[in-house]
Structure 1
Amino acid sequence: MNLIPEQWHSARLSLSDLKENEIPAVQKLYETSRYMNEWDGETYKPDHIQNCLFNGNLPPGGVLRNYRMQTVRNRENASLIGILSVYHGHPSSESVYLEFLYIDSNIQKQGFGQELTNRFTEVVADLGYREIRLNVALKNWPALRFWTQCGFDRISGIFGDRQISDNAFANLELVKTL
């Protein structure tokens, strides 16, 4: 299984595998994404980043060796600005699952997410993958707009509650063909 490199970069960003000593800073950044829980119905987990590093956030039957969590840093000053989490080979060997991508809400709308997504697409295409998949909450309109603008133009499934209500949640699985 070809995995994204332990370190890679784009014009303004540097990505590298999460290291144990980075857990507190990355967890703190992760906490700033809590606003998304109103859209996806998830509950905040104070040990999420540590759990992902040691156990992964795996699909059913998934194996840790196919999972990678990386920090996203601004190349200009090496500041931590984001998190990328990827599972290789799900639901097929030709697929990469973009499990989580978050850019610090204080610097969103500056093109970092678009730049990262474009470069990530190049990297996984060069590794031989044919598609990238991701899940996005139906109530997360900013993310739906972002991902469709990034070329995730096919819906492969709708998962979650069947009834619409304030306390109901559902996700779309979007696909970008490479």
Structure 2
Amino acid sequence: MKQLPVEWKSDRLIISNVEESDIPELESIYETSRYLHQWDGQEHDRNYVKECFEEGHLPPGGRLENYRIQSIRTNEDDRYIGLLSVYHGYPSEDSIYLEFLYIQSEIQKQGYGQELIQALTRHFSELGYKEIRINVALKNWTALRFWIKSGFNQISRIYGDLEHSEDTFAHTELIKSL
């Protein structure tokens, strides 16, 4: 199965596989994403990056060799600004699942996310994949706007709680065809 390169670039970004020495800095970046859990109802995992590095965050029946966790750094000053994790070949062989993408909140709204998605789309299309999928909390309006603007305009399914309240949560799986 063809996969993202160990390191690749866009105009302003360097994306590369996480090394064990990267984990402390990337955990601190991940820690700044804790606000996202107000919309998805999940517990914040302080060891998320380490666990992903060691075991992956795999779908049912998934294999570690199909999983990648990568750091996102700026080309200009080689500064860590985010994190990307993907699973190659889920739910079908010609699908990519974006398990997690986060750019530090103080860096957001500078076009890095759109640039990254455009570069990912190009890479995955060249590798022969037909679609990219992502799970988005329905209460996360900013993320929904970002993903729809990025071409994720098909809804695969909506799942979670049936009633809306402050203490209930639902998600949608969005698809971008390549």
| TM-score for the superposition, normalised by structure 2 | 0.99
Aligned length: 178
Look up the SS of the partner of 1:165 in the other structure: coil
Q: Which residues of structure 2 form unaligned runs of 5+?
A: none
Look up the SS of the partner of 2:106 in the other structure: helix
Residue type of the alignment partner of 2:131: E
Residue type of the alignment partner of 1:135: N
1:1-178 aligned within 5 A: 1-178=1-178
Equivalent-residue separation in structure 2 for 1:45 and 1:92 (angstroms): 28
Post-superposition offset of 1:24: 0.5
Equivalent-residue separation in structure 2 for 1:173 and 1:148 (angstroms): 12
- Structure 1, residues 74-114: CA drift from partner, whole Å, max 9, x if none? 00000000100000000000000011000010110000000
Equivalent-residue separation in structure 1 for 2:117 and 2:173 (angstroms): 17
Post-superposition offset of 1:163: 1.2
Equivalent-residue separation in structure 2 for 1:82 and 1:49 (angstroms): 11
Equivalent-residue separation in structure 2 for 1:17 and 1:160 (angstroms): 32
Look up the SS of the partner of 1:107 in the other structure: coil
Post-superposition offset of 1:47: 1.0
- Regions of 4+ moved over 2 Å: none
Equivalent-residue separation in structure 1 for 2:12 and 2:43 (angstroms): 32
Identity level (%): 53
Q: Quote the RMSD (CA, aligned, Å).
A: 0.5
- Structure 1, residues 20-63: CA drift from partner, whole Å, max 9, x if none? 01111000000000000000011111111100001000000001
| TM-score for the superposition, normalised by structure 1 | 0.99
